[in-house]
Amino acid sequence: MTFTLMGIPGLEAQHLWLSLPFLSMFLAILISNGAILFMVAREPTLHTPMYLLLALLMVADLISTLALLPKLLCLFWFNDRNIAVNACFTQMFFIHGTSVVRSALLVAMAFDRFVAVCEPLHYNTVLSHSLVGRLGLMALAKGVILILPMPLLLQRPNRIYGLFVILLVVGLDLVLIGFSYGLILQAVIRLNSRDAICKALNTCSAHLFVILITYVPALFSSLTHRLGHNIPPHAHILLANLYLLLPSVFNPIIYGMKTKDIQVKVAKCLCRRHS
């Protein structure tokens, strides 16, 4: 049995033109995320908890992108609309599973920022490499355990389970992130030095931007699906694709702009190539 993909209903004539921004995002995600992964793997000075968690986030972004965009581009370019049931469920598992893993990693990164700001002297003791590995495995296990039942339940549509997953992932993870940043804000308020306050806030700025770019489009897309009954189908589909792809596009850009270590490594690579 196969499913027939509809593409973007109402914009079939523009499929070729729509492929251009999606192809641009695909290439940007592959190059930027791959570059950061390469730098983290190659540079021993970047083998710190923050960058190891960032590398895991980049891996999740790459897997999500590779699960979504190749089939979408084949539909745009070659009108390849058929997809086997097992392939569809596999694609769904990886897309939604990596979304859960990404959210869990953002919680781990919030904990990392909490320790960096509130317990800087114990940072290396608390956030050891073994703990980072366990946090990564927990994020992976959360994604697999929560999303694996979905293909089975889709054979008998179950909205309650989908709502449960959304509440557990978005709701609980945002509560944990908010709790971490509440403690960070409390610690920052106690600082007497203005420079120390700016440094502490700058330490968290990249992670805060990533949280916004991850959760705001996802919540907006979810609300439009449930409340926007008068919104045309192609708008829903485009929003759903963007909320999956935008974090993967902007995460490496945000960390590249806000993190001096990455800027220094990129500058060194460019200087070597130029020389």
Q: How confident is the model at residue 242 (pLDDT cuts 50, 70, 90)?
A: confident
Mapped onto helix, strand or coil, the DSSP state of residue 231 is coil
Whole-prediction pTM: 0.90
Task: List, for residues 91-130, the tens digit of each pLDDT value.
Answer: 989 998 999 999 999 999 999 999 988 888 888 888 888 9
The long-range contacts involving 202-207, CB below 8 angstroms and separated by at least 24 positions, are 202/258, 203/113, 203/116, 203/117, 204/113, 204/117, 205/258, 206/254, 206/255, 206/257, 206/258, 206/259, 207/106, 207/109, 207/110, 207/113
